[in-house]
Amino acid sequence: MMCKAAVIPLTIYLAMACIVASVRPAWAAWSDDPSINTPVVVAVNNQDAHRITHDGHGGYYVVWEDRGDVSPASAGIYAQYFSAAGDPQWGAEGTPVGDANGWQRDPLVVSDGVGGMVVSWRASGGVHAQRLDADGSRLWGDDGVLVVSEATINDGAVLISDGVGGAIVASFEGAANRVAADGTLPWAPADDPVWFRGVAACQPFGIDIASDGTGGAIVTWVEGTLNQDRTAVQRIDHDGQLLWNGGDPVLLNDPVEAYAEYPTIIPDGFRGAIVAWLDYDPDEHVYIQRVDSAGAAQWTTYGVIATPMAQRPRATSIGLASNGEGGALVTWIDESSARGVFAQGVSPAGNLLWSAPAQLSGGSAFKKSSEFPKKTVEDGSGGCIAIWGEYDSSADEAILAQRVDADGGVLWPAGGVVVCSAPDRKWAPRIAGNGYGGAVAIWSDNRSAAATGTDIYMQGLTADGALGTPPFPDVDGDGVPDDLDNCVHTDNRDQSDDDGDGVGDVCDDCPNTAAGDPVDEDGCSTADDDGDGVLNDQDDCPGTAACADVDADGCPSDADGDGVVDGCDDCPETPTCATNVDANGCAIDSDGDGSPDGCPPAEQGCCGASGPVAPLGLAIGMLLLARLGGYRRARQRR
């Protein structure tokens, strides 16, 4: 394992030169100060190429590359998990995703759906991938898995989850492959991946990818030829088969004036996708189109124009988010005389939702903006949150964010919330929403360039645009999201659970539940191993036969004392004298004398016996009495 020597723990860092110590921030929870923010990594090498994704439970996965330009031994791809409270969980240094030496670039990250992440990156040999569990441990070996070989990739890639613990990678060269949850490649070997680009086209560019909702992917890219740049899409199913147009790309924009750039894609929620792109036709408008699960375009031919037709918008830097109903929200930066950041909604039927674009920031106060990809995310309520940077000639760039509701209303302060106001240059802001109206922004930062070069910072945003902890369901206020809290209604920040049943000690009514037993919300076992109707936790007689009649403690009775419990006894009134019963609790008469074994003859016939002996004895007695009566009458006649 590489030792991340360049990322320096706080206690050591404070002992360094004063200039370094003065810029090293404290590692703590979410900051509420735009001049401070929350550090992801501050180290003597340059850190860059960050990515962030929400884990679905209030926390965030972050990856980045360490350039190793000052300390080459620490170069590589690193990962960190931040809790909902903004605390790093894998040490202040993060964890390296692999041990391979040499250059490693462009990490990407998706959740694996079970508490961990899948990371991909470019390195010698091609695109590699690694899976980390909830503790940051590597699951696919020390160096990860080669997914797409160097022979088929010279540039970047995109990544999505396959929905079952693995991921799908698509390279900028037009090749795709899937890595399964166990690290195998079910589609194809790394050196013979699935090709989705057009055969006669030049190298594709501007690739983006979305899930098709069934374990496959929908890819979009610019299909370049000598005279045209067409927006293309293709669907790859969960087995790696191309599904649309006989394997040829589906082309979305006008072939006459086809100069597309920067396509971006989101799922439409119905196994199709929504794609937005810039088309220099020549007015630099934003186009958007919906493609159904069969690859058919659903909206206006060649796409809906989202930007105002009455002006030449000079749109750049598209963002795209779902409205949760099969439509979308698209954002862009306008560098024309209108100047600013704008948004427009598109209905599931392809109609513009708002009479005019929502203005997130703009006017005379708007400074020149950087162009950033993937700057818009869903807010969980049909709206979106967008992020961008603004800078002037002083090069002191600010990071700003704005939230727009489903009706096009701007929810945060006019001009946007200032996310970061620290001095010097910041760039490449990205954002991850949490589905509850809040988000986390992340960016590259040069505030401490003299001491540590480029570092990475992030900032939490609440639903109302304040800086701080992004909202998440937490009814007991203990800082643990409800869907992860083992005592949802009781504050138990340490989450202690001594019997390991998933119910925290402070709310566990049965704190000694046997390992592996299913439990109810109170921590009491719902298992009944002997099937007697009394749960294990209350059963004083485990192992009782299922047919037995039991008391409240799970113990059976035996009213006739024959050793066969009530409920399983076919002869529940066996005489107490009987010494031999069968498995059903019925007395055995071994010698066939009509008396149960162990019972004396005195208990037979007229004296209590049962069976064929009783009527036979009665008949013989009556015959003897009749003869005796006839003998007496004969003597009297003499």
pTM: 0.77
| CATH, domain 141-461, list 3.20.20.150, 3.30.450.80, 2.130.10.130, 2.60.40.740 | 2.130.10.130
What's the whole-number mean pLDDT along residues 572-576?
85
Residues whose CB is less than 8 angstroms from the CB of residue 589 and which lie 6 or more positions away in sequence, other chains included: 595, 596, 597, 611
Q: Is the pLDDT of residue 38 over 50?
A: yes
Residue by residue, what is the 3-state secondary structure of 492-530? CCCCCCCCCCCCCHHHCCCCCCCCCCCECCCCCECCCCC
Helix (H, G, I), strand (E, B) or coil at 334: strand
Residue 185 near residue 176, CB atoms below 8 Å: no
Strands (E), 83-239: 95-96, 104-111, 117-123, 126-132, 145-149, 157-161, 167-171, 175-179, 194-195, 205-211, 217-224, 229-236
**What pLDDT, in 10s, does the model give residues 77-125?**
999 999 998 999 998 889 999 877 777 889 999 999 988 999 999 988 8
Give 367's pLDDT tier (boundaries 50, 70, 90).
low
How high is the pLDDT of residue 239? 97
Answer whether CATH 3.20.20.140 is correct for domain 473-527. no
**What pLDDT, in 10s, does the model give residues 139-182?**
999 999 999 997 655 678 999 999 999 999 999 889 999 999 99
Residue 45 near residue 453, CB atoms below 8 Å: yes
- Closest alpha carbon to 252 in 279, 212, 281: 279
**What pLDDT, in 10s, does the model give residues 214-259?**
999 999 999 887 677 889 999 999 999 999 999 999 999 888 777 8
The average confidence (pLDDT) of the chain is 83
- Closest alpha carbon to 335 in 355, 307, 356, 358: 307
Residue in the block written with tokens 């107490």: 576
Kindly state the tokens that stand for 467. Answer: 């800086």
The domains of the chain are located at 141-461, 473-527
How high is the pLDDT of residue 471? 84
- Give CA–CA dist 70/74, Å, rounded: 9
